[in-house]
Amino acid sequence: MKKDDYSNASIIAVWISLISNILLTILKLVVGVLFHSPVLLADGFHNAGDVIASGAALTSMRISKRPADEDHPYGHGKAEVISSAIVALILGLAAIYIAFEAISALFEEPAKASLLALLTAFISLIWKQALYVYTIRLGKLANSKGLIATAYDHLADVYASLAAVLGIGLALIGDFYDIHFLSYGDPIAGIIVSFLVIKLAYEIGKEAMDVLMEKNINQQRIDEFATLIYTFPEVKRIDRLRAREHGHYILVDLRIGIPAELTIQQGHDVSRTIRDTIMEHHKDVDEVLIHLNPWYEENGAVPKGHVK
């Protein structure tokens, strides 16, 4: 599949997520209100936040695909990272709300559990699991931060729905066998959900902040770039090698030492070949900026694989 095909498929996936979140929000809130289910109500409000998150992801993905321009010479890739940060914020707020509602419910007489509420939670569980598998697979193939964040948002809903199924199920068992403490399964499940959601929010938010703060990519990728660069006999030394994520693509900055006697044209040809080779072997690299330094025999070469 070509890059443009992945881009179009990603936008379709976000539209599916947006529509699904709207439908599930309505379903959960209506059933939650009618049958007084704290965990289902909390999950419904969480889904309402997901509608905003999906909308933000859709907008950011459209912006991120715009080509570089005079005002944004490095492209618009970080729009997706901003979307990830928004998703993390919404998940964090949802976790706080879920915990508050669940704890409050512990101090009230539990409402009678409903089979319809259980069915709603189960439908949500299956629906969200399918959406998670679909979006995470496509997000990783397209290297889309916005779509991956949307996938993890679905995963948070899977946790919430699973907890709702267990909580409502326990409450139904408690009602049927007259075991009073099981009737609190619903709010207890809500508390568990809040911890799972806040953990996801932290992980998504940390990754988004790392990209926004232009943290270097992991050392394994840096070593792969270095190994590839040293396959060129003209490269005697790597003086600096940096790379950073810019949304769904990577920007590489490189300083290398090449023999001082090479002409400007020869140096240019070496730079262009290195750039093309890196981009050919690493499809997520969008730009390689190479600075050439003169290297003299008496300076000695840095051992292969070493990056200063």
Predicted pLDDT of residue 231: 94
Provide mean pLDDT across the span 32-53: 75
pLDDT greater at residue 146 or residue 85: 85
Q: Please tell me the distance from the alpha carbon of residue 139 to that of residue 229, in angstroms, as a whole number.
A: 29
* Radius of gyration over every alpha carbon of the chain, rounded to an integer in angstroms: 26
Whether 25 has a pLDDT exceeding 60, the answer reads yes
Predicted pLDDT of residue 247: 66
User: Dihedral of CA 238/281/287/61: which sign?
Assistant: negative
Whether 305 has a pLDDT exceeding 70, the answer reads no
CATH 1.20.1600.10 at 219-299, yes or no: no
Long-range contacts for 165-174 (Cβ within 8 Å, ≥24 apart)?
165/118, 165/121, 165/122, 165/125, 167/39, 168/37, 168/39, 168/40, 168/113, 168/114, 168/117, 168/118, 168/121, 169/118, 171/110, 171/113, 172/113, 172/115, 172/118, 174/113
Q: Please tell me the distance from the alpha carbon of residue 298 to that of residue 216, in angstroms, as a whole number.
A: 32
- Identical fold for domains 3-212 and 219-299, yes or no, is no
pLDDT in tens, 251-302: 899 999 999 999 999 999 999 999 999 999 998 888 899 999 999 876 655 5
Q: Please tell me the distance from the alpha carbon of residue 136 to that of residue 297, in angstroms, as a whole number.
A: 50
Provide mean pLDDT across the span 86-97: 82
pLDDT in tens, 145-198: 778 878 888 888 888 788 888 888 888 888 778 787 787 777 787 788 788 778
Predicted pLDDT of residue 293: 94
The fold adopted by the segment(s) 3-212 is Alpha-lytic protease prodomain-like (1.20.1510)
Domain boundaries along the sequence of the chain: 3-212, 219-299
pLDDT greater at residue 224 or residue 174: 224
